[in-house]
Each structure stands twice: as structure tokens, then as C-alpha cells.
Structure 1
Amino acid sequence: MTSLGTAAAAPGETDTGRLVVGETRDGGEFGLPVAVVNGADDGDTLYMQAASDGDELNGIGVIQRVIPRIDPEELSGTVLAVGIVNYHGFQVAKHRNPIDDTKTNRTYPGDADGTSSERISHATFEAAKRADRILDLHQGSTSRMLNEVRVRCGTRHRLHEQCLELAKVFGCGYVLDQKGPNGQLARVGPDEGIPTIDPELGGSVGWDDRSIKYGVRGSFNVLRYYGYLDGEVEPETQTRASGFDQYGSPSGGFVRFEKALGDRLSRGETVFTVRDTFGRVKSEVTADGDGIFWRSRRLPQVATGEYVCSVATGIDTY
């Protein structure tokens, strides 16, 4: 029998339940939705989680589609899944946990006696540490962004190559290979000896079916490549970036982009213009160097200095 919270599954079974991590303001318990898929045959454990940022729903869409499609009778090993990590942020469609005004994916490995976010991180990390691989499903919040996978352990980490392989197997086509901030699951997982990646499945308001399909395909790529399920997977060449140039607006007005997501940019090329209400150009912003148009704000109106877009730099393939 394998359990996670109240979910308990014998070999060849699937079960769902709740992982209790605290109480709400009325004193009632709350728990995160969890699933256990216990394979009929022995094997490795894969841990998946979604929505550690409460407004990032594409990962939930992936788990909704992946878990029902895994036949435990055909599975070797175990899949553990937490469908919604940032319970409080999800309830109010906010990025941060409103109980402590904290970004949950900056609080790993967590603290059993800490803040709301730290307690959630502690409970989910205890589950993740049981795994041989970790998929922490994200998206670029509500902005517009390429479907990508992030490797956050840093190029000098002892597990870097294993994390990079996992990213390639997941196979969104684009990889950001850049050490992440402290407190990210994709940082602390490798420190525990567990290859971990952070798929960033586009960016949307609500969820986006196209990005969810990338996540479903990537999850099954991982399940097949690493022997949880039968099937052949040949990892495809990925475009890798090592950093970003971020651009703010030099003036207020309305942004008009000259490039689409995924387009290449050369130094000096126009990235966007800012125009007044009547369409007259107020300012033009050009690329500081060569790169790929990776991410942009969704709304066209901007104030002076407001974030507009990101261009990925340090591009290669592997």
C-alpha cells in the first residue's frame, strides 16, 4: 500500500484524497488534493505538482488529463501528484498566498511550524523527497510566454546534467538553463539528489489547451523514457537560453510588438514601439543583443518604466 495524505492505493490501483496542511480562518481543516497511482510492478517514483502559484492553472489541467490516463496495471513504479499546492492563492485566483502575502515557490524546503506557505512547502516537499524525479508544473503567470522548461539548479550543480536530460525528455522545445532563486522546488530538489525541472507551460488567463497539451505530452514522455510505462521516446533537440534581457517602457502609451513569441532578434532590431492614443510613435525600443522573443505583457497599455517583455539570451541547442 502506498499513501499520500488520505489517498492510499495498493499495487495496481489509483486513489485520490487530501493532504491536510493546516486550518482556515474559521478553524476548519483544509487539505491539498492529492493522487497516488501505484503500479502493478515495482519501479521508480515520479512526483508531480501544480499551482504553487495560485493563478497558474495550466499545470492543474495537465494533472487532470495525465492521472486518469495512467493505467496502474501497466505502470512500473508510482506516481504521486499534488493537484493544487497554493490552496489559498488558488481560491482567490491570486499568484501569492494571501494568508502571508508570500510566493509559495520561494519557501522550499518549508517549515512544519512556519508560515502558511512554509507549512505547505514542507508538506509537499516531504512527498516530493520520496520520488526519483520531480515535475513542478508552472506557467508564466497571466503574461504571454513560450512553452518552456526551466532547469534551476545551476550549471555547476552535481545533478545539472540529469536535470538537463529530464528537461530535454519533457520536450517543450525551449529550455531556460539558469540558476533560480532560493526557495524554489527546482533548486532544493536537486540538493536532495532528485532531478527536478520546472516546466513553464505558456502563460494565460485561466488555462490554455495548447499549453496543457505540451504538458501532457511532456509528462508521458517522462513516464515512457524512464521506464514507468512501455514506449519509446527519442528526445528532440531543444533551444536553450541562459538568461534574459528585460525591457521596460521609456514612455507611457500603448505597446505594439514588432516580433512574435519565438522570433529571433538581432542587436539593434526593433522589439516594440510605444504609441499615443492616436497611433503616433512616442518611442522605439531596440534589442540590446541577439536573442529570442520569449515573454511579454498581455495588456497593451503601459506607464513609464513598466515591464513590457523579455528577450532570451545566450542561445544554443543541445
Structure 2
Amino acid sequence: MTTLGTASAAPGETSVGRLPVGQARDGSEVALPVCVINGASEGRTLYVQAVSDGDELNGLGVVQRFVPRIDPTDLAGQILVVGIVNHYGFQVAEHRNPIDDTKLNRTYPGNENGTASERIAHATFQAASSADLVLDLHQGSTSRMINEARVRCGKRHRLHRECLELAKVFGCGHVLDQKGPDGQLARAAPDEGVPTIDPELGGAVGWDEESIRIGVRGVMNVLTYYDFLEGTVSPETQTRATGFDQYGSPAGGLVDFTADLGDRVSRGDVLFRITDPFGTVQSTVKAESSGIFWRTRRLPQVATGEYVCSVGTDIDTY
């Protein structure tokens, strides 16, 4: 039997259930939706989770589409899935956990006696650290962003090569290979010997079907390449950035972008202009480094110093 929370599946079976993580303010149990797909034959274990940021729904779209496609009688190994990690944030469509005002993906490996977020992180980390591979499905919140996969363990980590390979197999087309902040699952799980990536499936309000399609293809690539399913996958060359420049607005007003997501930009190229309500240019911002136009804010209005866009830098392919 393979078990996650109340989901328990014999070989060749699929089971859904709940993973208890605490109690709500009315004393009712809080439990995350989980699924176990136990293959008919032995093999690796893949752990997949989504919505650790409560407004990032593309990963949930991937989960609800790939799980029904998997016939456990054709599977070698097991797949453990937590469909919605940030229960509290998901309920109110907020990025952070409103119970403790915490970004949950900064609390791994968690604490079983800690805050609400730390308890969720602890419960999900027990499953993640028991696996052979981890996919932590994200998106660029509600901003606009290219589809990419993030390798967050750092270049000197003993599992860097394995994490980079996993990102290549997933195959978003772009990879950000940059050590992440403490407390990310993609930082903590490699320390336990588990190759982990953080696919960032675009950015949307609600969800985006194209990014979900790319995510489903990525999961199926991983399942095939690592022999969970029969077949062959030839990983495609990925464009990698190892730096990430962020740009704020030097003036208040309205943003007028001169580059599109995914465009190559050169040092000195105009990225955006700020205009007043009558179209008069107040400020022009140019790229400080060459790279790829990676992410932008969604709404045009900005205050002085507010985030506007990001450029992935130090580009190569692998």
C-alpha cells in the first residue's frame, strides 16, 4: 500500500483523500486534498504539489488534467499529489497565508508545532522528502511571465546537475538557474537528496490554458523520461538565465512597454516608458544588461519605485 494522509492505494490503484494540517478558527479540521497513484509495478516515487501560493492556480489546472490521464496499471512506481497546499490562501484567492501573513513557500522544511504555514510545510515536506523527484508547481502570481522552470538549489549544490536535468526534461523552454531564498521547497528538498524543480507556469488571474498545457506536457515528460511510463522522451535544449534584473519605476504614471515577454534585449535598449495621464513621457528606462524580457506587472499604473518588470540575464543554452 502507498499512503498519503487518508489516501491509500494498493498496487494498480488510485486513491484520493485528505492530509490533516490543523484546525480552522471554528475548530473544524483543515485537511489538504491529496491523491496517491500506486503503479502496478515497482519504480520511483514522484511528488507533485500545487498552490503553495494561494492565487497561483495554473498548477492546480495541471493536477486536475494529468491525474485522470494516468492508468495505475500502466505505471511503474508511485505518484503522490497534494492539489492545494496553501489552504487558507486559496480560500480567499490571496498569495500569502492570511492566518499568519506568511508566504508559505518560505517555511520549508516546516515545523509540526509551529505556525499555520509551518505546519502545512512540515506535513507536505514529509511526503516530498520521501520521494525520488519533486515538482513544485508555481506561476508568476498574477503578473505576466514567460513559462519557465526554476532550479533553486544553487550551482555548488551536490544535486545541481540532477535538478538541472529535471528542469530540462520538464521542458518549459526557459530555465532560471539561480539559488533561491531559504525556506523554498526547491531549496529544502535537495538538501534531503531529492532533485526538485519549481516550474513557473506563466502568470495569470485565474488560470491560463496554454500554461496549463505546457505544465501537463512537462509532467508527462518527467513520467516518461524517468520510466514511470513506457515510451521515450528526448529533452529539448533549454534557454537558461543565471541572473535576474528587476526594474522599478523612477516616476509615477502609466507604463508603456517597448518589449514583449520572451524578447531578447540588449544593454541600453528601452524597456519601458512612464507617461502621465495625457501621454507625456515622464521617464524612460533602459536595460542595464542584455538578456530576455522575463516578467512584467499586469496593471499599467505605477507609483514611484513600484515594481515594473524583470530581465533574465547571463543567458546560455544547455
Instruction: Tell me if TM exceeds 0.5.
Output: yes
Matching residue's letter, 1:136: D
- Matching residue of 1:209: 209
Matching residue's letter, 1:188: A
RMSD: 0.5
- Report the 3-state secondary structure (helix = DSSP H, G, I; strand = E; otherwise coil) of the residue aligned with 1:314: strand
Summarize deviations over 1:284-317 as a string: whole Å, max 9, x none: 1111011110000000011111110001111000
- Report the 3-state secondary structure (helix = DSSP H, G, I; strand = E; otherwise coil) of the residue aligned with 2:148: strand
| Match runs of 1:38-57 below 5 Å | 38-57=38-57
| Match runs of 1:106-255 below 5 Å | 106-255=106-255
| Match runs of 1:81-92 below 5 Å | 81-92=81-92
Identical columns (%) = 72
- Matching residue of 1:12: 12
Give 1:126 deviation, angstroms: 0.3
Summarize deviations over 1:38-80 as a string: whole Å, max 9, x none: 0001000000000000000000000000111000000000000
Provide TM-score, normalisation by structure 2. 0.99
- Matching residue of 2:311: 311
CA distance in 2, matches of 1:301, 1:19: 41
Matching residue's letter, 2:301: Q
Summarize deviations over 1:252-288 as a string: whole Å, max 9, x none: 1110100000001111110001111111211111110
Give 1:231 deviation, angstroms: 1.1
Give 1:155 deviation, angstroms: 0.2
- Matching residue of 2:293: 293
CA distance in 1, matches of 2:210, 2:158: 34
| Match runs of 1:250-265 below 5 Å | 250-265=250-265
CA distance in 1, matches of 2:155, 2:17: 38
CA distance in 2, matches of 1:129, 1:196: 10
Summarize deviations over 1:155-200 as a string: whole Å, max 9, x none: 0000000000000000000000000000000001100000000000
- Matching residue of 2:32: 32
- Report the 3-state secondary structure (helix = DSSP H, G, I; strand = E; otherwise coil) of the residue aligned with 2:73: helix
| Match runs of 1:273-288 below 5 Å | 273-288=273-288
| Match runs of 1:56-95 below 5 Å | 56-95=56-95
- Report the 3-state secondary structure (helix = DSSP H, G, I; strand = E; otherwise coil) of the residue aligned with 1:224: helix
Matching residue's letter, 1:247: Y
CA distance in 1, matches of 2:14, 2:76: 13
- Report the 3-state secondary structure (helix = DSSP H, G, I; strand = E; otherwise coil) of the residue aligned with 2:294: strand
Listed as ranges, the gaps of 5+ residues in structure 1 are none
CA distance in 2, matches of 1:300, 1:41: 53
Matching residue's letter, 2:41: D
Provide TM-score, normalisation by structure 1. 0.99
CA distance in 2, matches of 1:35, 1:132: 17
Give 1:30 deviation, angstroms: 1.2
Matching residue's letter, 1:150: R
CA distance in 2, matches of 1:268, 1:185: 36
Listed as ranges, the gaps of 5+ residues in structure 2 are none
Matching residue's letter, 1:52: S
Deviating 4+ runs (over 6 angstroms): none
CA distance in 2, matches of 1:252, 1:99: 33
CA distance in 2, matches of 1:179, 1:282: 36
